[in-house]
Structure 1
């Protein structure tokens, strides 16, 4: 992986994902900005980047349509959402608990829930990194940012 192996743009296919309420749209924009701010993204076998990524959800599968910055197609990868579905659901549940706790729970309880939230997020990021293995190489921080974006897309698709 060299310095050119990065994402410079991420597009969400609204035709397959649809538009969400404003809070979900904001979550998606923040996730994309965080991902673009710092990432390592290497489609295995691709000699040069940087890359443009289009994300879509088709037939319960996550589609990574990767092109070079100039529009030259690189690869299209399709991943089943099945293996991530339980972790995404757990992540949403613990996030709801966290936001509820922030309103009126003692600091110790909030911190404990937040540790659990980060643990579930790390679990999802690790699983995503494993699912991408052999297709797209990413570092752990990029996997975390991608998992956050996938959660936002999943919420939109639900």
Structure 2
């Protein structure tokens, strides 16, 4: 993809609506890091958008649904997609459990045990990322690495600490 197309098919800003709520300083830091990583490197294109980006994304939660409000750089609305979080509940729950195991293992387990837990963690993260891409198919085109970063953000939104 040439530079202009890459510049136009990307996010330049991600905002969390006040509906998301605020959390502990540690979780707020994780959210900020997830947003930074997403903006730093992504491939993001609303389907059938002829106007092109770059884009701004505002995420909010309404009735346990994740709302993707997409706008152009200048603020002009492009589209809004509402995604049920139900298909992600099990993956996110399992992901948090394995992350807890991973952090506990770092203190006491052997390197091979830590590596096995980390492989499981990455596998769940990949499953969540693919589920996200599948649920947004035909609505938002994003590469797998961008889906991984958005899924990280979805997880951090659920993290209560």
SS at match of 1:56: strand
State TM-score, norm by structure 2: 0.94
Report the Cα distance in structure 1 between the residues aligned to 2:69 and 2:24, rounded to whole angstroms: 25
Work out which of the residue numbers 92, 95, 112 in structure 2 matches 1:91. Answer: 95
Q: Distance in 2 between matches of 1:29 and 1:41?
A: 19
What is the CA–CA distance in structure 2 between the aligned matches of 1:124 and 1:72, rounded to whole Å?
30
Aligned residues: 156
| Cα deviation code 1:96-121 (max 9, x no counterpart) | 00000001111110010000000000
Could you report, residue by residue, the CA deviation over 1:23-77 in whole angstroms, capped at 9, with x for unpaired residues?
A: 1101101100110111000101112100000001110000000000100000010
The match for 2:55 is: 51
Counterpart mapping for 1:2-151 below 5 A: 2-3=5-6, 4-14=8-18, 16-47=19-50, 48-151=52-155
CA distance in 2, matches of 1:46, 1:70: 15
TM-score (norm 1): 0.96
* CA shift digits 1:72-97 (9 cap, x unpaired): 00001000000011100010000000
- Structure 2 residue runs of 5 or longer lacking an equivalent are none
Distance in 2 (CA, whole Å) between partners of 1:96 and 1:69 is: 38
| Runs of 5+ unmatched residues, structure 1 | none
Cα distance in 1 for residues equivalent to 2:158 and 2:137: 21
Greater than 2 Å deviation, 4+ residue runs? none
**Pairwise CA RMSD of aligned residues?**
1.2
